Amino acid sequence: MYAHATHPRPLRFFVWSSVFALCCTAAQAQKALVGEPIEPLPDVSAWRLDPQKVKLGEKLFFDARLSKDNSVMCASCHMATKGGADGAKTSTGIRGQLGPINAPTVFNSALNFRQFWDGRANTLQEQASGVVHNPKEFDSNWPQVVSKLNADASMVQAFKALYADGISSENILDAIATYERTLLTPSRFDRYLKGDANAITADERKGYQLFKNYGCVACHQGANVGGNMFQKFGVLGDYFGDRKDLTEADMGRYNVTKREADRHMFKVPTLRNIELTAPYFHDASAATLDEAVNTMFKYQLGRPASDEDKKYIILFLKSLTGEQFERQP
Amino acid sequence: MNKLLRALPSLLVALLLVGILAALVYMNRSVDASDRVQANDLVRELKQLDALWGLDVLRSKNELNKNYDPISDPLARLREVQATLDVLADKAGRASMEKSLKALQESLAEKSDLVDAFKAQNSVLKNSLRYLPTAEQELRSLIAEAHASGAHASAELDALGQVANDLLVLVLRYNNSADADLKGLIEDKLNRLRAMQPTLAPPFADQSALLITHAQAVLTQKTSEDQVLGQIAASPSGERINALGRAFDESFNARLKQSNQWRIALIAYAAFLLLFLMYLGVRLFRSYRLLHRAKRSLEQANETLEARVMQRTHDLSSAMRRLEESHIQLVQAEKMASLGQMVAGVAHEINTPLAYVKNSLEVVASRIPDVQSLVQSSSELTQQMARNDASQEDLARSFGQLQEIASAFEETQAVDELHGLIQDGMHGIDHISEIVLNLKNFSRLDRAKMDHFNVNEGLESTLKIAQGTIKRRVVHKRFEPVPAIECAPSQINQVFLNLINNACHATAEDGGEITIATHVLPQAAGVKIEIADNGRGIPLEFHQKVFDPFFTTKPTGEGTGLGLSIVQRIVKEHGGSIHLASRVGVGTLFGITLPLRQQQPQPTGDDLPALPPAAAAAAPPPPPQEQP
């Protein structure tokens, strides 16, 4: 499986670098936290992504030609300045149409086990393709997009250089997905998990402890602090009964499987960069983190918590913000 | 185009043969051992993934896995492997693979849903299980507080505490072993708690409500979790992966079998093609050999032909040489014959004057004794007279003798006769010298070979030379004054002589008439000479032949047959032309035109030397002709 396995020199390099890495890991072993339900982000470089494809994918991410009237691009709803989402309750697609659901962040989305709130896309490619075809989002189709890009000599050249068959839907999606895989946001908390005890404050540490103790971590776990399971919104309380005015989007995964058990089932979202991606929940019902945490305690944990504890938890949640965003202000 | 049409059938056959070969090769190619290896590897990996996945679910259930990544992450790889297997199934034969592939996909999708359900339940279960003791603890604390503050309904609170505690114990026990009896007991406790609720004070009611919620949650989630886990454990995915592996095996084996058949077909076909090629090769070889043989015989024929041509050429050239030699000899003979004729003529011509010169001299010689006696008599008289001693008698006798002789002389006019005889002799000698002069003129040996020449004069000279031949035949001369032409006079004279001789030979000595005419050609381009006779004429069939060498109508030995051919050649070499008009019994006319000036290099004169005069007859013959 390893491309370099057939070449003696890279293999030797690999072996030695592995030995080196092992030694380093051994030295750090006493520091790195073991058995935590949250794991640090993987190293993107280990995925050996083609930097040219990443570059092309980034270009396409910002290319409005993917939409029917060249008015919307991926970046329209997934802005780096808004934590990889758009800050709106629901996103505005083509011709000013409002979408039915709150846009999830693109950051760390490569770690999600499925895409979209209802998990209807298995891969990043399927997700992007879904957006291109959605009449409320890009309202386009691949022949249209491919022909538009084919009219651009620089695009044709860029694709030709990377893909034998030039511009095609598969290749466009592959480039975009490759780019999206690079959008990981290591945080101070990751450094903490890796053994840097001082990477987060004592309050944040306390928040993390409460996060675990209250059981938030039962769903928001793994490398992406969520994103690897479905959970019923209102599992311990009747959220939708209290909220009223159900929409189709509120049916969650039921829309995909049509199984009664999947009613109101949603993909547990990542909590990384949660500080930046208000409003919260698929229906953007929580404008602030406080509200969101309250809702979670009420309907998901089904237990009370002190305001102080919630405050600590929120402090912890903010430590999950990617360090590249923390430096900005 | 035609060639193409003719080659079309063979081209089509060749294309067909190659097409069949390509098809067979393709049929063989479609089975790839690496596909089978890859399919095997993937099936094995799938099996491992699936087994590990199930194991990780159990580990998650037992909280050995601290998060759900281990049971979520395999999804991507599972999908990839399935997609690759789907592609491989196409190669292995979609029809036989479809069922087991679908079955596996279904079971894996089902399992995936079960795992998703497990995660949702397990997370809630874990939380509720963790929270239940806390909730119960808090309830008990509330009750203790109430007791401490001397609450009114302590019995009821004690019962609440007891039920809550029982519930907690039962739920925890149920979590360890979920059996129906425990479930019944828990539901019993839950019902009691719910029954107590309306009468409880708010903090107790709220807290016990939490207890109810979470106990209920554990009960529900645990039940369905066990169910889900059971379903996961019972998932036929592993079996179906095995079935898929078997299906791949079978399909590949079938393919292999089919491919073996195709390979046999290919081998057979290749053998057939090879035989066909060999057949073609043999045919090609044969035709090549045939061709080679034909070529060799052709080469041989060529070689012998060359030899034969060389032989023939050699023969021809030697014949030619002999012909040339004989031609030269014949020309020489003709020359000698002409010479002979001319010499005969000239001899005759000279003979006549010579005869009367001789006669005159004989007569003169016969008179010499008379002259001698006259001279003697006169001499005796003079001597007697001079001596003075001579008698008168003697004197008188001598005088008388002298007188007698002198008178005899006078009587016979002897002196006049002698004078006449000498005159005659002189005339004969003059005649002879004239003939010699004409001979010289004719041959022109004393002059340059190319000269300006008046054909009239030439004709006159020739006529003189030919006098011996002409004899009594009448010659009409109709000469126009003509300009001198540029030519080799001796050769032209030979032409004239030959034609005049021919005319003589064609006519009888008596009554034969020869007409010779000369004209000036229009614009003074040259001269025309016509020599006609009233002889027997030449039959029409001989008109073309008369100029051929060796053609003659004369009896053998009289003519060489070269005369006219020589004439024609001389005329042509001078750039002139000769033509003939003749009618049997009427006569023959030869017309010759000669240009005024010569344009080409003149005939050297070596080709056909002029008829040599008698004086040159002894000279060595001219060198042989170099050109045929």
Residue B165, pLDDT > 80, answer yes
Q: List, as ranges, residues 387-426 from B with C-beta within 8 Å of A.
A: none
Nearest residue of chain A to residue B135 (CA atoms)? A303
**Chain B CB contacts of A35 below 8 Å:** 66
Q: In this predicted structure, what is the pLDDT of residue A21? A: 52
Question: CB B3: neighbour CB atoms within 10 A?
Answer: 7
Question: What is the crossing angle of helices A51-61 and A153-162, to 10°?
Answer: 150
Q: Tell me if chain A has a CB within 8 Å of the CB of B258.
A: no
Nearest residue of chain A to residue B66 (CA atoms)? A37
- Kindly report, residue by residue over B109-125, the tens digit of the pLDDT: 999 999 999 999 999 99
Helix (H, G, I), strand (E, B) or coil at B201: coil
- Kindly report, residue by residue over B472-528, the tens digit of the pLDDT: 898 999 999 999 898 888 788 888 888 888 888 888 888 889 999 999 988 888 899
Rounded Cα distance, B220 and A261, in Å:
13
Residue B601, pLDDT > 80, answer no
* Mean pLDDT for the stretch of residues B291-300: 88
**Chain B CB contacts of A261 below 8 Å:** 117
Q: How far is B113 from chain A (nearest CA, A)?
A: 10
**Chain B CB contacts of A219 below 8 Å:** 123
Candidates A41, A108, A214, A229, partner chain B, best to mutate (most B CBs within 10 A): A229
Confidence of residue A17 (pLDDT cuts 50, 70, 90): low
Can you give the three-state secondary structure of A158-225, one letter per residue? Answer: HHHHHCCCCCCHHHHHHHHHHHHHCCCCCEHHHHHHCCCHHHCCHHHHHHHHHHHHCCHHHCCCECCC
Helix (H, G, I), strand (E, B) or coil at B583: strand
Q: Tell me if chain A has a CB within 8 Å of the CB of B31.
A: no
- Kindly report, residue by residue over A153-208, the tens digit of the pLDDT: 999 999 999 999 999 999 999 999 999 999 999 999 999 999 998 999 999 999 99
Residue B591, pLDDT > 50, answer yes
CA angle B284–B286–B289, rounded 5-degree value: 110
Highest mean pLDDT among A234-243, B414-423, B460-469: A234-243
Nearest residue of chain B to residue A220 (CA atoms)? B67
Confidence of residue B621 (pLDDT cuts 50, 70, 90): very low
Residue A290, pLDDT > 60, answer yes
Cross-chain Cβ contact A265/B213 below 8 Å = no
* Mean pLDDT for the stretch of residues B325-331: 72
DSSP string, A98-136: BPSSPPPP-TTGGG-SSBSTT--BSSHHHHHHHHHH-TT
On whether the CB atoms of residues A184 and A80 are closer than 8 A, the answer is: no
pTM beyond 0.90: no
Helix (H, G, I), strand (E, B) or coil at B16: helix
Query: At A324, phi and psi to the nearest 5?
Result: -65, -25
Rounded Cα distance, B21 and B145, in Å:
97
Does residue A137 have an active-site annotation? yes
Nearest residue, CB atoms, A39 vs list B69, B116, B126: B69
Cross-chain Cβ contact A218/B123 below 8 Å = yes
**Chain A CB contacts of B120 below 8 Å:** 229-232, 235, 265
Mean pLDDT of chain A: 89
Question: CB B353: neighbour CB atoms within 10 A?
Answer: 20
Q: Tell me if chain A has a CB within 8 Å of the CB of B218.
A: no
Cross-chain Cβ contact A39/B67 below 8 Å = yes
Cross-chain Cβ contact B213/A235 below 8 Å = no
Nearest residue of chain A to residue B128 (CA atoms)? A301
- Name, in order, each residue with C-beta under 8 angstroms of B116's C-beta and a sequence gap of 6 or more: A229, A230
Mean pLDDT of chain B: 83
Residue B235, pLDDT > 50, answer yes
Q: How far is B65 from chain A (nearest CA, A)?
A: 8
**Chain A CB contacts of B72 below 8 Å:** 113, 222, 228-229
Closest Cα partner for A57 from A35, A36, A73?
A73
Amino acid found at B485:
I
Confidence of residue B617 (pLDDT cuts 50, 70, 90): very low
Nearest residue, CB atoms, A222 vs list B69, B213, B214: B69
* Mean pLDDT for the stretch of residues B244-262: 84
Cross-chain Cβ contact A218/B72 below 8 Å = no
Q: Tell me if chain A has a CB within 8 Å of the CB of B213.
A: yes
- Kindly report, residue by residue over A117-153, the tens digit of the pLDDT: 999 999 999 999 999 999 999 999 999 999 999 999 9
**Chain A CB contacts of B123 below 8 Å:** 215, 218-219, 229, 231
Cross-chain Cβ contact B127/A215 below 8 Å = yes
Q: In this predicted structure, what is the pLDDT of residue B336? A: 67
Confidence of residue A112 (pLDDT cuts 50, 70, 90): very high
**Chain B CB contacts of A259 below 8 Å:** 113
* Mean pLDDT for the stretch of residues A53-73: 94
DSSP B474: E
Cross-chain Cβ contact A38/B120 below 8 Å = no
Cross-chain Cβ contact A122/B79 below 8 Å = yes
Residue B560, pLDDT > 70, answer no
On whether the CB atoms of residues B494 and B610 are closer than 8 A, the answer is: yes
What Å distances lie between residue B379 and A319, B369, B399, CA to CA? Answer: 200, 15, 11
Structure tokens at B132: 């239940």
DSSP B577: E
Q: In this predicted structure, what is the pLDDT of residue A191? A: 94
Q: What percent of chain B has pLDDT over 90?
A: 25
Nearest residue, CB atoms, B116 vs list A39, A223, A229: A229
Residue B201, pLDDT > 90, answer no
Nearest residue of chain A to residue B218 (CA atoms)? A236
Cross-chain Cβ contact A229/B69 below 8 Å = no
Detail the DSSP E strand segments found in B116-221.
none
Q: In this predicted structure, what is the pLDDT of residue B393? A: 78
**Chain B CB contacts of A232 below 8 Å:** 120
Cross-chain Cβ contact B119/A223 below 8 Å = no
Top pLDDT among A284 and A11 is at A284
Cross-chain Cβ contact A303/B135 below 8 Å = yes
Helix (H, G, I), strand (E, B) or coil at B476: strand
Amino acid found at B178:
A
* Mean pLDDT for the stretch of residues B221-230: 90
Top pLDDT among B198 and A2 is at B198
> Looking at B26-30, B231-235, B493-497, which range is the least confident one?
B26-30
Residue B602, pLDDT > 70, answer no
Rounded Cα distance, A239 and A250, in Å:
11
Confidence of residue B37 (pLDDT cuts 50, 70, 90): confident
Residue A23, pLDDT > 70, answer no
Q: Which of A137, A180, A204, A275 is catalytic?
A: A137
Candidates A235, A263, A266, partner chain B, best to mutate (most B CBs within 10 A): A235
Query: At B479, phi and psi to the nearest 5?
Result: -90, 130
- Kindly report, residue by residue over B533-559, the tens digit of the pLDDT: 998 888 888 887 888 776 777 765 566
Rounded Cα distance, A210 and A195, in Å:
20
Can you give the three-state secondary structure of B94-120, one letter per residue? Answer: HHHHHHHHHHHHHHHHHHHHHHHHHHH
Cross-chain Cβ contact B66/A261 below 8 Å = no
**Chain A CB contacts of B124 below 8 Å:** 218, 231, 235-236
Q: In this predicted structure, what is the pLDDT of residue B487? A: 86
Cross-chain Cβ contact B72/A222 below 8 Å = yes
Residue B248, pLDDT > 70, answer yes
Residue B361, pLDDT > 50, answer yes
Q: In this predicted structure, what is the pLDDT of residue A29? A: 44
Can you give the three-state secondary structure of B478-502, one letter per residue? Answer: EECCCCCEEECHHHHHHHHHHHHHH
- Kindly report, residue by residue over B429-466, the tens digit of the pLDDT: 888 887 777 777 666 544 446 778 888 988 888 888 78
Amino acid found at A124:
L
Nearest residue of chain B to residue A34 (CA atoms)? B66
Closest Cα partner for A39 from A217, A238, A255?
A217
CB pairs under 8 A between A and B: 80
